[in-house]
A = this chain, B = another copy of it.
Amino acid sequence: MPSQSQHSEFGLIARYFTPSPPEPDAGVALGVGDDCTLLDPAAGRQLAVSVDTSVAGVHYPAEAPAEAVGHRALAVSLSDLAAMGARARWCLMALTLEEADEAWLDGFSRGFRGLAEACGVALVGGDVTRGATSIGVTVMGEVAPEAALTRHGGRAGDLVAVTGALGGGAGGLALWQRGERDLARPLLERYLLPQPRLTAGQALVGLATAAIDISDGLLADLGHLLERSGVGAVLDPEALPLAEGLVEALGEEGARQAALTGGDDYELLLALPAGNLDEARARLAALGLPLTVIGRLEVEPGLRGVPAADRRGWQRFLTEGPGDEP
């Protein structure tokens, strides 16, 4: 069988991904090594699940450091759990590689595992195959019934707010394309080593009425939230919190564009009743994360406050509809 000719080579690399024996509180009843992994979900919780694929040369530069590729592939999936306010628990990885390069695998594994450990996520399954390099990561988390932060709960009058800073993804990509390779530069770090806002998402449960993570760009993702919530919004582009170094890298105009329409920021975009703002800010401040009000939801559909020239991401949302996820 074609698939078997892969095994002798790829059996080698299994060790990079053979999980350590799971922690007692990891909820793993039967770990890797059988046909399936068996998990013990917490009683009375809902499961939040999502999958994202990262393709070399499409979602990240094919020459990106292996450690960043591993970190990033997991981070973009975890960001979806963060946006639901879910506690991240388990992940599965489908790794497709052109060749088994041990140095690359070592770095990839370090990046993936490092973030998994930092976020308390157990790697509970996977598949390693040969082909054009891509990484599919399925994440599973838990959330109390009725507690999840959805896209559809926003109401007219709610504030629109974002965690952290915007434009770092696009700014980092721009630096990368100019040949910058120092990941200690904040923008490059934001682009290649994004931090999923898991603790922030959980802290906002009960305060935010709606949330989405900013992966497609602020305007496009705001569009998804507005559509699902059946409302419109007015934004104040001057209020956007810009990522460190963004204006220096892209200029003022470029920085605003990056913050409005650049993707890969993986911050949370929220709808928040004004009365909850102080408490939300206090909880996020305890996590070292700022929360910035950038607008307000309104009854009238559509988007106001953003100059026509800056609405590229909004146009894209209108053209393409509610995203490409099945």
Contacts and interface: CB of A to CB of B under 8 A. Distances in A.
Residue of A3, A141, A320 contacting most chain B CB atoms (<10 Å): A3
Contacts of A215: 3
A30 to B, nearest CB: 6
Nearest to A56: B131
A211 to B, nearest CB: 8
Residue of A17, A129, A212, A216 contacting most chain B CB atoms (<10 Å): A129
A37 B29 contact: no
A323 B321 CA distance: 43
B55 A228 contact: no
Interface string A124-145: 1111111110101010110101
Contacts of A39: 46-49
B263 A4 contact: yes
Nearest to A46: B38
Contact of A136 (B36, B51, B262): B51
A324 B151 contact: no
A40 to B, nearest CB: 6
Contacts of A123: 326
A194 to B, nearest CB: 12
A151 B217 contact: no
Nearest to A17: B326
Given A35-B212, A37-B48, A126 B326 contact: yes
Interface string A306-326: 000000000010011111111
Contact of A96 (B2, B19, B53): B53
A281 interface: no
Contacts of A8: 316, 319-320
Residue of A8, A141, A326 contacting most chain B CB atoms (<10 Å): A326
A41 interface: yes
Interface in A179-233: 211-213, 215-217, 220, 228
A323 B14 contact: yes
Interface in A29-70: 29-30, 32-41, 43-44, 46-53, 55-60
A92 interface: yes
A209 to B, nearest CB: 14
A53 B228 contact: no
Interface of A: 1-4, 6-8, 10-11, 13-14, 16-19, 29-30, 32-41, 43-44, 46-53, 55-60, 79-81, 83-84, 86, 90, 92-94, 96, 123-132, 134, 136, 138, 140-141, 143, 145, 148, 150-152, 169-170, 173, 211-213, 215-217, 220, 228, 262-264, 316, 319-326
Closest 9 CB pairs of A and B: A17-B326, A132-B132, A1-B263, A126-B326, A55-B131, A94-B136, A35-B83, A136-B136, A36-B48
